[in-house]
Amino acid sequence: MVLTPTGEILFGYAKRLLALNDEVATAVRGAELEGWVRLGLQEDFGENLLTEVLGSFVRAHPRIRVEARVARNAELLELVTSGRLDLALAWDSGSSSPLCQFVADLPMCWVGSADWMCVVNGEPLPLVAFESPCLMRSAATKALDHAAIPWRLAFTSSSLSGIWAAIGAGLGITVPAPGWGSPRTCSSLMACPHCQRSA
């Protein structure tokens, strides 16, 4: 096998690009990053990301000042749009923006206390949810309505710790944001298979 004339030209450019990449890597090796970044994230991710990812980043780059803000989805998007945050990890609200970049699809499931019993005899399903507006709450109620399962709001909170406390107390079930929780909290929770099948 031999290169075509066009392949020969491309191969020459590729070698030059790789050489330039090596030159850049050599030039910046040992250079310490510095500056600052204003980051926003959901409370859903705060516990894990703040301690693990951001902690590791700050230790690796001590001359970068990280200013982190935990807020609800709509506020984070507004702060990025207005230039008061450089970057935010937020849920897809369905509104398109040239500033947004897709990161990942994360699965959702129904979660309740390990000793919580599913409702029977057509009683409304008790929901534990963030105060409105909340994308997870909307997804949960939409799924239940679609499956013709009656539901009621048993507990609402503006904080994640309030949600976990209500779930732990057996007040109802929730659709947590993927990434919620830690081994400490998840050990007392279980997915509700009946509700998962229904919705």
* Tens of each residue's pLDDT in the chain, 199 residues: 677 888 888 888 888 888 887 777 666 665 667 788 898 887 777 666 666 777 777 777 788 888 888 888 888 888 988 889 988 887 776 666 666 777 777 777 788 887 776 666 778 889 998 887 777 888 888 988 898 888 999 899 887 788 888 888 888 888 876 555 443 343 334 444 444 433 3
| pTM for the model | 0.57
Residues 118, 50, single domain; the answer is no
CB 175 within 8 A of CB 111: yes
The domain containing residue 115 runs over which residues? 111-198
Question: How buried is residue 144: exposed, middle or buried, by Cβ count under 10 Å (0-12/13-18/19+)?
Answer: buried
Token duo for residue 186: 């998840």
Number of domains observed in the structure of the chain: 2
Residues 82, 138, single domain; the answer is no
- Long-range pairs of 57-62 with CB within 8 A, sequence gap ≥ 24: 61/32, 61/33, 61/34
Residues 117, 85, single domain; the answer is no
Q: Is the dihedral of CA 16, 19, 23, 29 positive or negative?
A: positive
CB 136 within 8 A of CB 93: no
Residues 84, 123, single domain; the answer is no
Q: Is residue 17 part of a domain?
A: no
